């Protein structure tokens, strides 16, 4: 464990021992700091590619759908933690930038599917490639391939 985490844990054990759980606290703190480090790296890459984190999330949500990479706003909202008003604001911005298109469903004119555009798809692919490279380099600087697989397997168990 690094010096920062050790310092935190030592202070917790010394000054707040009744809240120190010897096995769980180091795990919780390590997970928290790993998430912060990952989020910081990811945000830098996403912003460097001209997107906000939420805009990237909307585009990535569309990209995970079948071609033509289109979903209704309700479908997008269900896969994200965002209000409908917040999503509308993001969709308007992405549409104004030409990264998505919104059309009207002919069978139900109340539905306006959102789709990635020919301009949005390459930007998303470029951003995702850069993001994967940065995170892969960061993880591989500390963990072996076997450790990465083991960690992923163990963390997946916590997601049940």
**Whole domain around residue 102: which residue ranges?**
21-38+51-158
Considering the domain boundaries, does residue 11 fall inside one? no
Considering the domain boundaries, does residue 115 fall inside one? yes
pLDDT at 25: 86
> What is the tally of structural domains in the chain?
1
Local confidence band at 22 (pLDDT 50, 70, 90 cut-offs): confident
Read off the pLDDT of residues 45-101 as tens digits, 9 standing for 90 and up. 999 999 999 999 999 999 999 999 999 999 999 988 788 889 999 999 999 999 999
Considering the domain boundaries, does residue 90 fall inside one? yes
DSSP-H helix ranges across the chain: 3-15, 24-48, 53-63, 73-78, 84-96, 120-140, 145-158
pLDDT at 120: 96
Q: What is the mean pLDDT of residues 106-128?
A: 91
Considering the domain boundaries, does residue 85 fall inside one? yes
CATH of the domain at 65: 1.10.10.10
Considering the domain boundaries, does residue 144 fall inside one? yes
Local confidence band at 38 (pLDDT 50, 70, 90 cut-offs): very high
Considering the domain boundaries, does residue 118 fall inside one? yes
Rounded Cα distance, 91 and 5, in Å: 40
Any residues with CB less than 8 A from the CB of 51 and at least 6 apart, and which? 59, 123, 127
Q: What is the mean pLDDT of residues 113-137?
A: 96
Considering the domain boundaries, does residue 7 fall inside one? no
Read off the pLDDT of residues 134-154 as tens digits, 9 standing for 90 and up. 999 999 999 999 999 999 999
Considering the domain boundaries, does residue 98 fall inside one? yes
């Amino acid at each position: 464990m690094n010096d920062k985490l050790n310092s935190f844990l030592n202070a917790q054990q010394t000054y707040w021992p009744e809240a120190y759980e010897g096995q769980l606290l180091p795990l919780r703190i390590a997970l928290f700091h790993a998430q912060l480090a990952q989020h910081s790296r990811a945000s830098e890459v996403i912003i460097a590619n001209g997107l906000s984190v939420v805009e990237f999330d909307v585009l990535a949500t569309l990209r995970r759908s079948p071609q033509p990479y289109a979903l209704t706003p309700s479908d997008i909202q269900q896969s994200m933690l965002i209000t409908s008003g917040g999503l509308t604001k993001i969709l308007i911005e992405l549409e104004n930038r030409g990264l998505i298109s919104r059309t009207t469903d002919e069978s139900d004119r109340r539905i306006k599917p959102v789709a990635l555009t020919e301009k949005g798809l390459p930007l998303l692919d470029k951003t995702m490639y850069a993001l994967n490279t940065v995170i892969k380099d960061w993880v591989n600087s500390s963990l072996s391939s076997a450790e990465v697989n083991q960690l992923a397997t163990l963390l997946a168990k916590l997601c049940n």
